[in-house]
Amino acid sequence: MENVLKEITPKSVDYSQWYVDVITKADLVDYAPIKGFMVIKPYGYRIWEFIQEAMNKEFRATGHENAYFPLLIPEHLLTKEAEHVEGFSPEVAWVTMGGGEVLSERLAVRPTSETIIGAMYSKWIQSYRDLPVLMNQWSNVVRWEKATRPFLRTTEFLWQEGHTVHRTREEAERETLQQLFIYQRVIEGELAIPVVAGRKSAGERFAGAVETYTLEALMGDGRALQIATSHFLGQNFAQAFDIQFLDEDGVLKYGWTTSWGSSTRMIGGLIMVHGDDKGLRLPPRVAPIQVVIVPIMRGAERDAVLAYADRLQKMLSARFRVRLDARPEFTPGYKYNDWEMRGVPLRIEVGPRDVAQGAVVMARRDTGDKAPVMLGDVVDAVATWLDDIQAHLLEEARQRLAERTVAVSDYREAAQHGYRGFFTGDWCGQESCAEQLKADTGMTIRCLPLDAKPRSGRCVVCQGEASERMVFARAY
């Protein structure tokens, strides 16, 4: 295994190649025979399932229900909301034949589902008593990308998309922010990824939205990743799809709608925020294997060590996700490196001396720290260590985020930092300045932070009077 690990390109040499090496060698994904598509292997898909479980718990607690809508969308529906279609048209894949015959109308492979869901909601909603409608869908979508990278940007990807309809503007606006903060709890609490919550500038909004809210994370190479978004759609989609209800006052009114989504891109963020030159470092809450037991077996003591390790596995399996690695063809050192590459948070080593002493040796993936623990204390010790690892990974990432967030008075100061990191500065609100920022530096406005105070400074681009505080960065 040592030879295999040498093939992982160090992050400092080539970050992009490091990422590809890690996701393939840690058995998360493989490349499909179609350009831009990926196969998510069981180890990677299990992480996605943990994310789903955490989000479903939050969604259900706030009254949302899961549903499923068609993959194919008739062209006449997709074109109903003109601004929405214009935003997605370059990425849409079309089905033009079915059953060997040319279709009378093209069918779009969903790039997102506002249009098909809007058409159904217009059938289902008649009265204010039908509101609110709170639905979420777990599905795949297709957006024809030119440049792809597994998890981060692929032609097909997995996601969840929530779509709601409300009686009033105020209810819809509350829903939009509620879902943003649900994402924040899951991403920080489960994935240990700190985020900056904010509004998108007008030029960066979701097509057809009145407001788009976003969570922005900082990757290990200093680039930003938009990791989840929540959109207040106003009545744009309701008017396009005739989503009306008879209100209590007897007046026919349009609903107020929202949509919000996150995707397998979160797994890419997880890798880039926590990974190191040995491979993955997984937060325990989303680790497919939380504890790996490696028996050190020699000669006549082999059976006794294996029996002890098997007993240990049974003790731990009631509370934790445990793997006993008793493969006889590999050395303990090989196994250590193998499981470190896969990001298993905690390793337990068991040798003849440990059997004689009624103990084990525990080793952390995040820090490399090791310590002996008596067998009778091991269950509680594992629980404590896993909690510590989860908290440490989040705190470590928060410290990096703080260190790499730089306040500037002129956008050109970012060059001194190699354009790596989050840069904060005042902005006049003019899209012309946002366009100049992008043209000169390749950086975009990631968000206008929700916790920013009103501004009275000078715009970092034009030096005119500022009205907003912005975070800008180069992004994936």
Nearest to 411 by CA among 346, 471, 344: 471
pLDDT of residue 245: 98
pLDDT of residue 456: 77
DSSP single-letter state for residue 240: H
- The strand order across the sheet containing 72-74 reads 72-74, 101-109, 93-98
Q: Is pLDDT of 83 > 80?
A: no
Q: 114-118, 136-140, 387-391, 412-416: which has the minimum mean pLDDT?
A: 114-118
pLDDT of residue 208: 85
Same domain flag for 129 and 56: yes
Residues 144-158 have a mean pLDDT of: 93
The answer to whether position 145 is within a domain reads yes
| Sequence-ordered list of residues with C-beta below 8 angstroms from that of 358, at least 6 positions apart, any chain | 374, 375, 376
Is there a contact between 318 and 291 (Cβ–Cβ < 8 Å)? no
Is there a contact between 353 and 298 (Cβ–Cβ < 8 Å)? no
Q: 55-59, 225-229, 325-329: which has the minimum mean pLDDT?
A: 325-329
114/473: higher pLDDT: 473
E strands, 143-204, are: 156-166, 196-199
Same domain flag for 224 and 355: no
Q: Is pLDDT of 17 > 80?
A: yes
Residue 329 sits in a domain whose CATH number is 3.40.50.800
The answer to whether position 284 is within a domain reads no
The parent domain of residue 363 ranges over 289-384
pLDDT of residue 87: 63
Residues 130-143 have a mean pLDDT of: 97
Exposure on the CB side of residue 182, measured as CA atoms within 13 A: 26
Same domain flag for 245 and 372: no
Domain boundary among 274, 304, 322: 274
**pLDDT band for position 61 (50/70/90)?**
very high
Same domain flag for 182 and 237: yes
Same domain flag for 308 and 260: no
Residues 78-94 have a mean pLDDT of: 75
Q: Is pLDDT of 84 > 80?
A: no
pLDDT of residue 4: 45
pLDDT in tens, 382-392: 999 999 999 99
Nearest to 131 by CA among 63, 180, 67: 63
The answer to whether position 396 is within a domain reads no
pTM of the predicted model, to two decimals? 0.94
pLDDT in tens, 237-285: 999 999 999 999 999 999 999 999 999 999 999 999 999 999 999 999 9
Which residue bears the tokens 């800008």?
Answer: 472
pLDDT of residue 2: 42
Same domain flag for 350 and 460: no
Is there a contact between 68 and 139 (Cβ–Cβ < 8 Å)? yes
pLDDT of residue 298: 81
Q: How far apart are CA 73 and CA 108, in angstroms?
A: 5
pLDDT in tens, 173-225: 999 999 999 999 999 999 999 999 999 999 999 988 999 999 999 999 999 99
| Average per-residue pLDDT for the chain | 95
Number of domains, the chain: 3
Domain boundary among 384, 415, 433: 384
pLDDT in tens, 438-475: 999 999 999 999 999 877 799 999 999 999 999 999 99
pLDDT of residue 1: 38
